[in-house]
Amino acid sequence: MTTAIELTQLTKMYGTRRGLTLTVEPGEVFGYLGPNGAGKSTTIRMLLDLIRPTSGSARVLGLDPRTDAVGLHRRIGYLAGDFVVDGRQKAGECLAFLASLCGGVPATRVIDLADRLDLDLNARVKSLSKGNRQKVGLAQAFMHQPELLILDEPTSGLDPLVQQTFLDMVTEAKAAGQTVFMSSHIMSEVEAVADRVAIIREGRLVALDTVADLRARSFLHVRITFAEPVPAEEFTALPGVTDVSVDGTTLSCRVDGSPDALVKAAARHTITGLRADSQDLEELFHTYYAAA
């Protein structure tokens, strides 16, 4: 099966050369993460031939974004990070016009998306808040049920309820066999739906893995309360245990891997309380970014 997206040393020069190589498979939800300015929007614009790479290559749905742009764009649903349309139109008129450009979309499909997103189709675009303009952008990207959805910061400005609706729409798109390439600087908004995640910094790939494997690499924050004070030295040499501190009868530490050694050592004392919290993926994202 033809890959959905394939990048080979794709580079856009802004003072420093960085080559990006990765592959997105058909039917997967791919989270493309990085802080603002990392190069996410630049990558997306090269995928759509809105800007040209300095070197390297990109293939989208097996085609060259430059030579096959017209046919390729009909098969893609795109939401720009700075979605802008004619503000004089009503939201419904705007979506009808955009639908005609991609060969037509049933009116019931547009109405259904508007209802789900709580979008007023009779409101003029220029009167809409940023969040409501973003709803127009989401509707136009999803409405023709494209093979590939390329979404740049799709939840920007959306309230939490609509964010959840968006995640439901992504899940449904995946179930229908569509591919979703979704950029964000927020790990938590893609972890619920993404199959794999790439993290970039300054145009360079610093991590590429499944969400499950990223979780497996996370560590535990452990806090144990004892009936009496315990010596910190008893725990500092345990395998996988770091950042040990004792405050009165409470021991705090970090555990990488199995907590078995820590639990067995703690069991030699009387335990009155124990709490273990997994590292949040948002924190893991920042760990990768800081270490890159």
Place of tokens 């345990």: 238
Q: Give pLDDT tens digits along the chain (292 positions).
A: 789 999 988 888 765 556 789 999 999 999 998 877 888 899 999 999 999 888 899 999 999 999 999 989 999 999 998 888 888 899 999 999 999 888 889 999 999 999 999 999 999 999 999 999 999 999 999 999 999 999 999 998 899 999 999 999 999 999 999 999 999 877 777 888 999 999 888 788 888 888 878 777 778 899 999 999 999 999 999 999 999 999 999 999 999 888 999 999 999 999 999 999 876 666 666 666 665 5
CA count, 13 A, side-chain hemisphere, 89: 14
What pTM did the predictor assign? 0.79
> SS3 of 278, please?
strand
Task: Please give the Cα distance from 39 to 29 (Å, whole number).
Answer: 19
Please name the residue ranges forming H helices in 183-239.
211-216, 233-236
CATH 3.30.70 for domain 219-280, yes or no, is yes
- CATH topology (fold) of 5-215: Rossmann fold (3.40.50)
Residue 247, CA distances (Å) to 222, 255, 270, 275, 276 in order: 14, 18, 16, 15, 17
In the chain, which residues fall in CATH 3.40.50.300?
5-215
- Contact between residue 178 and residue 27 where contact means Cβ atoms under 8 Å apart: yes
Coil/strand/helix, residue 255: strand
Q: Cα dihedral sign for 48, 49, 54, 55?
A: positive
Other residues' Cβ atoms within 10 Å of the Cβ of residue 19: 16
b/e for 40-50, b at 16 or more Cβ within 10 A?
Answer: bbbbbbbbbbe
* Positions of CATH 3.30.70 in the chain: 219-280
